[in-house]
Structures are given as structure tokens and as C-alpha cells.
Chains A and B, each alone.
Chain A
Amino acid sequence: MNKIFISGNHTFGEAAIRAGCKCYFGYPITPQNELGEYMADRLRKSGGIFVQSESETAAINMVVGASAAGARVMTSSSSPGISLKQEGISFLAGFELPAVIINVMRGGPGLGNIAPAQGDYFQATRGGGHGDYRTPVLAPASVQEIADLTIVAFEIADKYRTPVMLISDGMMGQMKEPVIFPEHVKDLPQKEWALSGRGKGKSRYLASLILDPLEMERHNWKLVRKYKEIEKNEVRHEEYMMEDAEIAVIAYGTTARIAKGAIKRVRSEGIKAGLIRPITLWPFPSRALKDISERIKKFIVFEMSTGQMLEDVQLALAGKASVSFHGRPGGVIPTPAEFARYIYRENQKENKCL
């Protein structure tokens, strides 16, 4: 197994190819262009399909078509482009079609900027598009983890027949780190449900229009049963220096990396902080947070946004512990020193109260 030095954006592509992704459809947008470019070269060379679409809307609908025909398929974009894909993601959820969608987030709203941000958390975890559905969301925090979770994303997508989103940001996308890739996936799952022409059998159709409200309701509850399975089986999180921690920091992706640096600093001054890093943002590791709140009463949420995951943490803790928030939206990358100072101040406040 060879270690290679590779960027996050290229890693999404290489891992997808190794996961058996046969088609990629996308439209250029910074800071994820290297991913589409990688697929234009490597996916095509490996016998797959790359189409540069006329828009993100077209790309996601090409994804719907290829997925309905049984292919492992992926698209990627950054924040404004992900907004355009939302209608198609809602259709994927309604049709129960697997697909992998990558969002390399940037500052917003609007065109915003091309700097790293985490402002699309609500959009990703609340469904984003219209209708009553959920999307599993994975948030890698290293380039190696981009490789690993991209493969997991394809597996979850096929296992539950659902769109899966991977979210990262411009920093994760551009950053290079050493990565060990797994071997190419050999046996792809059989998809009896895929449309392939009726042949000598019965014709089939995929429709999301369900005019009878009772039947639509049955479909909604069927989706919920599936989401419950996902909540049961697929929640992932990492704990860092939590054994003796008295303050729990909650952060994902890039901010989790920054938080680790900050935690090392405050620990050298005797403040016992640890990190809980959600790897799946939906389903959210609420159970783990709740359990930890039995012994830790101070939580700090740290995001490159004005406070979105914060709401999931508050919901999980249900008032059982205090929650404070440090956020830098707009593409500003906070430093470990800055966040360490925040933890330090919060710790002092706490001590004063006692």
C-alpha cells in the first residue's frame, strides 16, 4: 500500500473511483474545481463517464438518471451550486435513489467568497430541498478521512438507497496530506430495482408524484423508518482527550482540527478540555453528547459559522449542561491561539460563578 501526497479535492475523486463510481457530473465552482478536473482526466481514463454540465441543476438531474440506471454516481460543488442541486436531491430522496454529493463549502450567503466556511450546515442536515426527508451527512477532518468517508458515503447510499452528502470546505479541499487509499472495490452491490428496460419481464417506473395523500403519507413514514435505521447504525463521532475532560468542545471538519491545537494549548495551562468531533452531522451523535453531559457540565461549540450545529448540540443536551459558542463566519479561519483564548476566558467565567 502506497502512501501518496495528495489534495483533499483530488482525494474525493480518487476515492470515488476506487469505490466504483462510474459517472461524475458537475459544473465548475471554486474552491472545488480540482475535483471535477481530476474526474475529467482520471475517471474517463478508468473507463467512467465525466460530463461537464451546463449548470448544477443539470448535473444533479444527470445524477438522478445515472443512479436510476444503476450506476454509482457522484457530483460535487460549492455552496451556491449546492443550492441549485437541492430540487434534485429532494427527488433522489423521494425516488429512493443512491448518490454521493460533495459540498466544498465557501463563505456566504449569496456569492459570498471562496474562503473556507461552514455556513451550509443547516442546508445539509435539515434536508435542504423541499419535502419531508433527510440526507446522511459526513464531515471528514483530514485528507485521509476524505478518502475513507467517500467510500463509506457510497456504501451508505447504496445500502439505504439514499443521497449522501459529504461536506468539507475550501481549506480541506486545497490542503495536501499523505493518504493511503484502499484497493478498488471489487464487488458492487446488485441493484435489482434499477431501471434497465423491461426485457421480457414487467415494466417498472420511478415516480415521486403520489397524488393520494394517504399513499404519500405511507411513503413519508416509510422514509422515516429508513432514517431511523440510519440513525441506529450510522452515527459516528471521535473523542479526543475526553477521558479526564471538564470542558467539552464540539467541532467538526476544519474547526475540529483547529480545536485540537487549542486544546493542547489550554491543557498546558492546566485546563482540562477535550473534543467531541461529530463525523456524521446527520445523524448527529446526540446520544454520545447526552451521555457525556452526565459528567461534564460545560460545552463549547466551535464553528466557522454564526452558530448552526449549535442548535443540534442544544437539542442533544436539553438543558443538562451549559453551552457557549465561538464562531467565525464569512471565510475567516480562526487560529488555535484565538480559540485557546476563548476556552481560557470561558473557563475563568465558570470559575467565577463557583
Chain B
Amino acid sequence: MNLKNKWPKYYKKDVVTHYCPGCGHGIAHRIVAEVLEELDVGDRAICVNPAGCAVLAYRYFDIDMLESAHGRGTAMATGIKRARPDLFVFSYQGDGDLSAIGTAETIHSANRGEHISVIFINNAVYGMTGGQMAPTTLVGQKTTTSPSGRNPDYEGYPLHITDVVASFPGVVYAERVAVDTPAGIRKTKKAVTNAFRCQIDGIGYSIVEILSPCPTNWKMNTIESYKWVTEEMTKEFPLGVLTDKREKKK
């Protein structure tokens, strides 16, 4: 077997990560950086990073970056892309950012079919603020603000926002993946590649939802948290391509 560890061109060297041990954000970052290089778009890329654990993503991505107000990433990405259609623009957002406070921006940027790409990290909690309930929190899941477990009668059911936007004509590609296993990581990379290609081909909006462990706020060790993605999260959020209109749009 020919193993090699090639450092992605668009990932900064010699930086110490602020992400917790076992966090899925780091894996997602590396995948994005690799795809930017493989598709040769990093030089003209702008990433809009969120308020959330990835607020410091500019420490790692070696591309131009714009921090967003909580939830407003796709509105900012819209502004950049409309002003500079020649740039490659993507947002990177958590589930609180994208599907709670930023729901309107998410839905309407998708419905306008903005030529942007969205990387959506679903870790079923608010990571940065200390593990509160997110719209994606599973039924029964304990968080700091649903201490006896999410009760649908009281807190409602998990929100499947990617399924919602996948139904829009302007959304060319939507897929849900997970970084829970080596196979899942390979699939994630393929999904990000497909999504980014939609923008390169100028055919519309794409989104990849990545189920991602947050061992710290799930109060699990790393191995347990990856298992929990595989065994529990994927039951609520089944993996797969949610829409693929690429052939129709080309």
C-alpha cells in the first residue's frame, strides 16, 4: 500500500487547533481544504465562517475568509457572490447558526438559487456556547437546556432543514453525510466535491450536511461519540443524496 501524508495547500501549517480532541470540525476542514486544491479554486475562494466553534476557522484555512454575524453566513455569501461572480464563495456553518438563528437566510439564499456552496456541520448541539439544545437535537437527547432530554411535546422535533431546501428548484445538489468512519469521510469528500463543482459549473446552490461528533458537549469519549453518530444520529438524519438536479441544469 502506498501511504503518503500530503499537507493540503490551503490548510495552514504550524497551527495548534482550538477544536476539542475528537471534534468533527477538524476532519471537515481538512476535507474542504483538499477539495479546494483538487478543484483548483482555492486561489479565488472566499469562505464565510460562522459564529460557532468554527469562528476561528481562518486560523486553519489558507484562503480569504470573512467572519459572519451569527446565522447570516449565506446572506454575506450572497453579497460577495453577487458583487464578484468570478469568486468561489462558500459558507461554513453549524446547526444553530444555519438552522436556528439563520433559518430565513438559509431558506431564501437556497430558494434564490444563489451560486454559492454551503458546508453545514450538524452536531446536534450548540457547541461553542456550551452544549445547549439545537434545532437538530435528537428526541430524548440531554443538553444543558433540555436537561431531562428533548421532549417533542415541549421542545418540538429535530429540524431537517437540508430536506426542506433540497425540495427547492434552485438547489442543485444536497447530500447528507457523516464523518464517523473512514468510509464516511471518503463519502463526505465526494459530496463536497460534487457540491463545489455545481458552483464551478455555474449551475446553482449546493449544500452538504455533515453529521459531526461533539464529544465535549455530548459528554462522551471520542470513540463513543463516533459510534453515537453512526448508531443514533443517522437514525434521525438518514445519510444520502437528498437532491441531485445537476443533469437537468447543465
Contact = CB atoms under 8 A, between A and B. Distances in A.
Interface string A44-55: 000001010111
A66 B75 contact: no
Contacts of B83: 22-23, 49, 65-66, 69-71, 73
Given A195-B46, A200-B43, A67 B79 contact: yes
Interface residues of A, number: 39
B99 interface: no
Nearest to B46: A195
Contacts of B45: 197-198
Contacts of A53: 75, 108
A351 interface: no
A203 interface: yes
Interface string B53-79: 001101001111111110010011111
Given A23-B83, A66-B82, A70-B83, A55 B104 contact: yes
A346 B119 CA distance: 65
A209 B81 CA distance: 23
A161 to B, nearest CB: 15
B104 A196 contact: no
Contact of B104 (A58, A63, A88, A208): A58
B43 A61 contact: no
B235 interface: no
Contacts of B94: none
Nearest to A59: B75
Given A68-B66, A198-B42, A61 B58 contact: no
B84 A70 contact: yes
Contact of B79 (A23, A87, A196, A197): A23
Nearest to A195: B64
Interface string B130-143: 00000000000000
A163 to B, nearest CB: 14
Contact of B72 (A22, A57, A69, A195): A57
A62 B67 contact: no
B78 A62 contact: yes
A206 B67 contact: yes
Contacts of A69: 46, 79-80, 83-84, 87
B79 A54 contact: no
Interface of A: 22-23, 25, 49, 51, 53-55, 57-59, 61-71, 73, 87-88, 91, 195-200, 203-209
Given A51-B78, A54-B104, A61 B72 contact: yes
Given A195-B46, A197-B43, A199-B43, A62 B82 contact: yes
Nearest to A204: B64
B76 A65 contact: yes
Contacts of A206: 65-67
A61 B69 contact: yes
Interface size class of B (residues with CB under 8 A): 35 or more
B108 to A, nearest CB: 4
B126 interface: no
B123 to A, nearest CB: 20
A61 B81 CA distance: 13
B48 interface: yes
A246 B46 CA distance: 60
A61 B76 contact: yes
6 contacts: A49-B83, A64-B66, A64-B76, A65-B78, A65-B80, A196-B84
Given A58-B75, A65-B79, A198-B63, 15 more contacts: A23-B79, A23-B82, A51-B78, A51-B82, A61-B75, A62-B78, A65-B78, A69-B83, A71-B84, A195-B46, A197-B87, A198-B42, A198-B64, A206-B66, A209-B51
Contacts of A73: 79, 83
Contacts of B87: 69, 196-197
Nearest to B101: A57
Q: Specify which of B55, B72, B76, B77 lies most central, judged by the most chain A CB atoms within 10 Å of its CB.
A: B76
A66 B83 CA distance: 5
Interface in B129-176: none
A195 to B, nearest CB: 4
A309 B68 CA distance: 33
Given A54-B104, A203-B61, A206-B66, A62 B79 contact: yes
A109 to B, nearest CB: 24
A203 B62 contact: yes
Nearest to B78: A62
Nearest to A64: B76
B244 interface: no
Nearest to B61: A203
Contacts of B65: 195, 203-207
A88 B79 CA distance: 13
Nearest to A208: B67
Contacts of B80: 65-66, 68-69, 195
B88 to A, nearest CB: 7
Contacts of A23: 79, 82-83
Contact of B46 (A58, A71, A87, A197): A197
Contacts of A58: 72, 75, 78, 104-105, 108
B71 to A, nearest CB: 9
Most B Cβ at <10 Å: residue of A65, A203, A207:
A65
A84 to B, nearest CB: 11
B44 interface: yes
A197 B104 contact: no
